[in-house]
Amino acid sequence: MQVYDNYDLSELNSFGIAASCKHYCSVSSEEGLKEILNHPSYKNLSILPLGGGSNILLTKDFNGLVIKMDFGGIEKFMEDGDFYYVKVGAGINWHQFVLHCIDQNWSGVENLSLIPGNVGAAPMQNIGAYGVEVKDVIESVHFYDKEKQSNRVLKAPECEFGYRTSIFKTSLKGKVFITHVIFRLPKKIELKISYGAISQELADNNIVQPTIRDVSNAVIAIRSSKLPDPTKIGNAGSFFKNPVVSSQVARDLLKTYPDAPHYEVGNDQVKIPAGWLIEKAGWKGKTFDESFGIHKNQALVLVNYQNATGLQIYDLSQNILEDIERRFGILLEREVNII
């Protein structure tokens, strides 16, 4: 197995931050993963598993071993009356997987079109968009457990999925390497098009009876109009989660800002869009040193226009976070992993 020293990571993180790691290797098999994790030169180092690099902010060089999870393969290995079961390698680009499903006329992931990153990261933060979360179509997650030194599988109900979270971001954080995800895609096609932006986009194109591909194309059009393309402008999608607050906090906010968008999420809790709070506080579209800032179309997205450091972006996120807390009494939480 080839291990590189002092490896440049700038092409491997969607923020495009210039940073390096002490050692780097790519693995695409369980044997390769075990070999590198047990190698005497590397086994005591800090280890960072890397997927598509689309949800990390590198604030410094990484003084350890980066393992790029390059497991491949998309295989429908089983079907029953209701579902197709598809095994996908962690290193497959998420959108390539979505396009593959659409080509096969498999439904379930079309609303998640164009989300950056790889399949292995999808369960980690339970990616979601336009009324669908990946947990809705996951059957199980396969991973290598570094502490137990064994391959393990968790069924979806054991993954503790929640809004942008899972067991892989909490109690198993840093301990496991996701190698494959098994998807369970329904044979009965039930398109989810009630989300306002999707129904509007379909109506604008005079599509009355949409196909899976129509929905995917609508999502692609919406995302492309709002969100910066990470291959052109460095970013990691939503930088913050949408905060969930008590209904009392929401009522207080609505007294001052009756137009604030808000969604009841049960248990006396209300979700407030962080993008709205950040825009209301005046941050949207701000640019600093012509280098980094807050995107002009979506205030949830921090961007690296050119040559920003990870620390500059981190400090900006801290300033936003403190300002939102001061103005609205609501504490934002970062969605992006800070390294």
Is 126 among the residues that bind ligand EPU (CB under 6 A)?
no
- What mask, x for binding ligand EPU by CB under 6 A, covers residues 103 to 122? --------------------
Is 52 among the residues that bind ligand EPU (CB under 6 A)?
no
Contact positions with ligand EPU (CB under 6 A) in 140-159: none
Cβ-based burial of 313 (10 A; exposed 0-12, middle 13-18, buried ≥19)? buried
Residue 48's φ and ψ, nearest 5 degrees, are: -120, 110
Q: What is the DSSP letter of 157?
A: G
- Report the nearest approach of ligand EPU to the CB of residue 284 (Å): 5
Task: Give, in order, the Cα–Cα distances in Å from 224 to each of 147, 241, 267, 297.
Answer: 41, 20, 34, 11
Is 279 among the residues that bind ligand EPU (CB under 6 A)?
yes
Contact positions with ligand EPU (CB under 6 A) in 291-320: 298-300
- Report the nearest approach of ligand EPU to the CB of residue 242 (Å): 5
Contact positions with ligand EPU (CB under 6 A) in 236-265: 237-238, 241-242, 261
Is 129 among the residues that bind ligand EPU (CB under 6 A)?
yes
Nearest 10 degrees: CA dihedral of 69, 70, 71, 76? Answer: 120
- In angstroms, rounded to a whole number, what is the distance separating the alpha carbons of residues 335 and 139? 24
Task: Output 25 or 294, the one with its CB closest to ligand EPU.
Answer: 294
Is 275 among the residues that bind ligand EPU (CB under 6 A)?
yes
CB atoms within 10 A of CB 338: 12
Task: Output 91 or 230, the one with its CB closest to ligand EPU.
Answer: 230
Is 310 in contact with 59 (CB distance < 8 Å)? yes
Is 228 among the residues that bind ligand EPU (CB under 6 A)?
no
Stretch that binds ligand EPU, among 10-18, 21-29, 167-175, 269-277 (CB under 6 A): 269-277
Q: What's the first-to-final CA gap in the chain, in angstroms?
A: 25
- Report the nearest approach of ligand EPU to the CB of residue 254 (Å): 14
- Report the nearest approach of ligand EPU to the CB of residue 10 (Å): 21
Is 321 among the residues that bind ligand EPU (CB under 6 A)?
no
Task: Output 261 or 329, the one with its CB closest to ligand EPU.
Answer: 261
- In angstroms, rounded to a whole number, what is the distance separating the alpha carbons of residues 9 and 20? 5
Alpha-helical (H) ranges within the chain are 30-37, 94-104, 121-124, 196-204, 212-226, 247-256, 274-280, 310-328
- In angstroms, rounded to a whole number, what is the distance separating the alpha carbons of residues 215 and 129? 12
Stretch that binds ligand EPU, among 69-77, 198-206, 268-276, 326-334 (CB under 6 A): 268-276
- Report the nearest approach of ligand EPU to the CB of residue 5 (Å): 33
- Report the nearest approach of ligand EPU to the CB of residue 130 (Å): 5
Asked whether the CA dihedral 116, 86, 131, 244 is positive or negative, the reply is negative
- Residues with catalytic roles: 164, 238, 335
User: Contact residues for ligand EPU (CB under 6 A)?
Assistant: 129-130, 227, 237-238, 241-242, 261, 273, 275-276, 279, 284, 298-300, 335
